[in-house]
């Protein structure tokens, strides 16, 4: 199979034998894989430049049996990460987090950290486009939620309120993103509606 970006995918008979019962959108790809595929498509067609942020790591111990086979034995995160992705689209800075849950009825706010919320607030205050992509894996549904819509739920949690966002609220406050072939999670179409 040839993909639009020129890469080839070889499908073995063993891998394809049980696939007839699976839908196109449920082939084991995680939200992160789908976003990475989408971002590569955006880059290939020169629509946007969005990349996954590298996690800063301090390497402590490396085993060098030979130069070409160095193995990191011990490493630590240098600092807490902010959000997963950032880049530029139509002259605007874009920054977002991606989260996946197996829960069908709510999204647990424990999956988000305070330093991430603080970072998202800073992006919004400086005029950037900031959001979260939420995937309900069991439902095979992905939603775009603006950071500004997320903040009240976080505030309620800090003040003793709910520690989750109900699925119904996400469907009301967010935007459903149907899975597609090339731009698997086409979040830029939502940004176009909201900002352009």
Q: Which helix (H) or strand (E) holds 190?
A: helix 187-195
**Model's pTM, two decimal places?**
0.78
Residue 102 above 80 pLDDT? yes
Backbone angles phi, psi at 43, to 5 degrees: -70, -45
pLDDT at 22: 37
Local confidence band at 136 (pLDDT 50, 70, 90 cut-offs): very high
pLDDT at res. 70 = 81
137-138-140-146 Cα dihedral, nearest 10 degrees = -50
Domain boundaries, the chain: 25-195
CATH code that applies to domain 25-195: 3.40.1350.10
Per-residue pLDDT band for 68 (boundaries 50, 70, 90) equals confident
Residue ranges of the annotated binding site are 82, 84, 97, 116
Of residues 3 and 27, more confidently modeled: 3
Instruction: For residues 161 and 117, give the distance between their C-alpha atoms in angstroms, rounded to a whole number.
Output: 17
34-52 residue pLDDT tens: 999 999 999 999 999 999 9
Q: What is the pLDDT of residue 74?
A: 83
93's tokens: 């800075």
Annotated binding site for Mg(2+): 82, 84, 97, 116
Q: Please compute the mean of the pLDDT values over residues 116-136 and round it to a whole number.
A: 97
Higher pLDDT, 75 or 103: 103
pLDDT value of position 77: 67
The greatest distance separating any two alpha carbons of the chain, rounded to the nearest whole angstrom, comes to 56
Q: What is the pLDDT of residues 2-20, one digit of tens each?
A: 444 445 444 444 444 444 3
């Amino acid at each position: 199979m040839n993909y639009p970006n020129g890469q080839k995918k070889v499908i073995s008979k063993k891998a394809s034998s049980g696939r007839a019962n699976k839908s196109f959108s449920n082939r084991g790809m995680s939200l992160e894989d789908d976003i990475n595929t989408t971002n590569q498509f955006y880059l290939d067609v020169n629509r946007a430049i969005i990349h996954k942020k590298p996690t800063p790591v301090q390497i402590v111990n490396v085993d060098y049996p030979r130069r070409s086979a160095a193995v990191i034995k011990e490493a630590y995160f240098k600092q807490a990460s902010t959000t997963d992705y950032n880049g530029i689209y139509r002259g605007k800075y874009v920054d977002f987090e991606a989260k996946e849950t197996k829960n069908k009825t709510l999204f647990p706010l424990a999956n988000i950290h305070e330093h991430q919320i603080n970072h998202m607030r800073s992006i919004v205050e400086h005029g950037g486009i900031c959001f979260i992509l939420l995937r309900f894996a069991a439902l095979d549904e992905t939603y775009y939620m603006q950071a500004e819509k997320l903040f009240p739920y976080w505030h309620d949690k800090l003040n003793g309120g709910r520690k989750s966002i109900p699925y119904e609220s996400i469907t009301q406050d967010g935007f459903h993103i149907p899975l597609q072939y090339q731009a698997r999670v086409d979040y830029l179409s939502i940004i176009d509606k909201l900002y352009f």
